[in-house]
Amino acid sequence: MPDSARQRWISAALLLMLFTVSLLLSEYVPAAPADAETGEANPPAAPGDAGQPKQQSRHITEYHIRVALDAENKTLQGKEVVTWTHPGNKPVRDLVFHLYPNAFASMNTTFNKESGGKLRGDKIRDQRFGRMDIRSIATSDGQDLTGRLQYIQPDDGNAQDRTLAVLRLYEPVEPGQKISLQIEFRVQLPFAYARMGYVGDFVMAGQWFPKLAAYETAGMRGRTEEGWNMHQYHGNSEFYADFGMYNVQIAVPEPYTVAATGFPTGPASIRNGMKVYRFYADDVHDFAWAASPHFVVAEEPFSSKHVPGVKIRLYLDPAHAHLKDRYLYVAKKALARYSEWYGSYPYSTLSIVVPPPGGNGAGGMEYPNLITAWAADDDNPDLELERVVAHEIAHQFWYGMVANNEFEEAWLDEGLTSYAEDKFMQAEFGVRSARMLEASYITDPAPLKLHAWEYGNHNVYAENVYMRAKLVLLDIERKIGEKRMNDVLRRYFQEWRFRHPSTGDFQQVLERVTGKNWDDYFNQYVYGGRMADVAVQSVRSAPVEIRGETVYDNRVIVDSRDGAVDNVTVRIQFADGSRTDVNWDGAGGKTEIRLLSRSPVKWVLVDPQFDLVLENRRTNNFYQTDVDEKQKVRLNVGISKLIEAAVGWIAW
């Protein structure tokens, strides 16, 4: 999900700051379950739609779900048959489930304690909480397991948190074997302030069903022993699951229209005043849907050289119906560009949902084959409309297909997505990233490979996982060139889609493409939380007599105070108007540059072209010699206070 709106505020504020300073310094079968109303078996979904390719992922999970929306009471009644195929080599005696709606059960859940009951500025309203109740769990042969479900809190021990549960089995699942469970559940939807829930009569059903955790085999993502990847739902964390197949029936009140992951297996039918939709999705690791009685629906087919054919379905809030063409345009262009750059979009559908005004808590989010845009709050939005859609479509490639672990390595999704978003906006709309300004916003740098909740709060999480991660990728691009960076990302995508890679896997691809070792760089900027900081420490110009002529012995001391840098330009301006650029390798900390000249040094500026992407303390890059000490102090303090004020204003 993007923090792009905040980033735009960042850019605006920092642009103002930079202008002022310049004045001073010149964003993945059992028998089919019975129909909810008739008791008849649902026909098996055909594994494909026009253009739907053959299976590409290893199917670990298979879900057959029937769910009905009670729009008046804001509840979901569901029945699920889930089949899990053991991918490992050791017997498994427990299954682990994510029960995400329980994150919204009270203010004492881990999610709400960490987030304060808000996300990106959207807050819970009037204590309109939500939860998931597991009514029953049984094996396919009728063995009741309901009493063997135990809530666990491996991350923080919070007994009030019920977002993760272990199901103790009577018999182990052997390697290669399958187990099928029948689960009945009920969800009370919360007010949608954090991805799922309702806003008026609009419903966003994300992470709404009992969902198996990912099971990692030995060697996967560096694991030494196979096992479940078990984490609670945290204020900063998103999601991670195994690939599989989904066959989902959704019953809603007759006036409602449903948008969902995958494609419809036929037209909706009307039964007992309810409209019943059926969807099928393959090679995905999640299933989401949205419903509203007000959707204005538009659908267009699209294909390009790298997109064999996709139906783009747009579900607009009426307030944005007049913006249909803008949504469709950016969706087509983004699919085409990302498919060209990284690899083909293999699915037959892409749905775009525009939440109603006041529904940004459900906006700006990615799910397989379905994204949500910003809510329809603005009648005439600027390019933020296009940017958010482009960001979420980029997620279809990194979150959706590459599908890294967002609990533990969110930067591999959000950083790559933000990088791709910026590239797209520049290529399609001519909008360049204000990377120097964004670097100036990094006030709490931290390692990128941290568990999402270890960042402490959402601002620090977003600052690093979105922005600093993107800047690290841009810095790598600066070092190896844009063409080779394109080769790195394309090879990474091609090798690791549908496979759940790690940071180490990304580094290995980078090293194979570039033919060099990147350990030192990754230790500093990825596994470590460093930024670059180069400074002019002092300048001294002294007149000397050489062969009867007075010249100046100029000594400039520059310092690399943080983060390894290389090939830094030092610009030296002399009092007579002449100037020279000196290349400094950036090694060894302090370095003295000595020059003889006919005129004393007037000022020195390190990195005048702003090539150092990760430099975030530029107030010490400039040194002027003809300002007295009082004025120097006043100037530096003034600039520092200006930056503090700007950052304080935008850090919401």
DSSP secondary structure string, 95-109?
EEEE-GGGGGS-TTS
CA 419 vs CA 56, 120, 483: distances in Å: 26, 20, 15
* Residue owning tokens 């690399």: 560
Residue 326 corresponds to which tokens in the numbers above?
């803008």
User: What's the predicted TM-score (pTM) here?
Assistant: 0.89
Q: Which of 147-151, 154-158, 634-638 has the lowest mean pLDDT?
A: 634-638
**Going by C-beta distance under 8 Å and a sequence separation of 6 or more, which residues neighbour residue 418?**
2, 4, 27, 391, 466, 467, 469, 470
What does the pLDDT look like over 460-469, one tens digit per residue? 999 999 999 9
Coil, strand, or helix at residue 49?
coil
Q: Which amino acid is at 574?
A: F
CA–CA dist 60, 175 (Å, integer): 12
Q: Are 345 and 310 in contact (CB under 8 A)?
A: yes
DSSP 452: G
Kindly indicate the confidence band of residue 577, based on its pLDDT and cuts at 50, 70 and 90: very high
Per DSSP, the residues of 495-516 read: HHTTS---HHHHHHHHHHHHTS
What does the pLDDT look like over 483-539, one tens digit per residue? 999 999 999 999 999 999 999 999 999 999 999 999 999 999 999 999 999 999 999
Q: What is the mean pLDDT of residues 339-345?
A: 98
Pairwise pLDDT comparison (649 vs 420), residue with the higher score: 420
Q: What is the mean pLDDT of residues 415-422?
A: 98
* Residue owning tokens 């700051």: 17
CA–CA dist 214, 93 (Å, integer): 15
What does the pLDDT look like over 99-148, one tens digit per residue? 999 999 999 999 999 999 999 989 999 989 999 999 999 999 999 999 99
Q: What number of helices (H) and strands (E) belong to the chain?
A: 12, 32
Q: What is the mean pLDDT of residues 7-15?
A: 47
CA–CA dist 643, 635 (Å, integer): 12
DSSP 173: E
Ramachandran quadrant class, 79 (left: phi over 0; alpha: psi -120 to 50; beta: rest): beta
pLDDT at position 223 is 94
Which of these, 595, 582, 606, 591, lies nearest to 559 by C-alpha position? 591
pLDDT at position 630 is 55
Q: Are 376 and 385 in contact (CB under 8 A)?
A: no
pLDDT at 395 over 60: yes
Max CA pair span of the chain: 108
Pairwise pLDDT comparison (587 vs 630), residue with the higher score: 587
Kindly indicate the confidence band of residue 626, based on its pLDDT and cuts at 50, 70 and 90: confident
pLDDT at position 2 is 62
Tell me how far apart the terminal alpha carbons of the chain are, to the nearest angstrom.
17
Which of these, 443, 438, 424, 412, lies nearest to 339 by C-alpha position? 424
CA–CA dist 620, 606 (Å, integer): 9
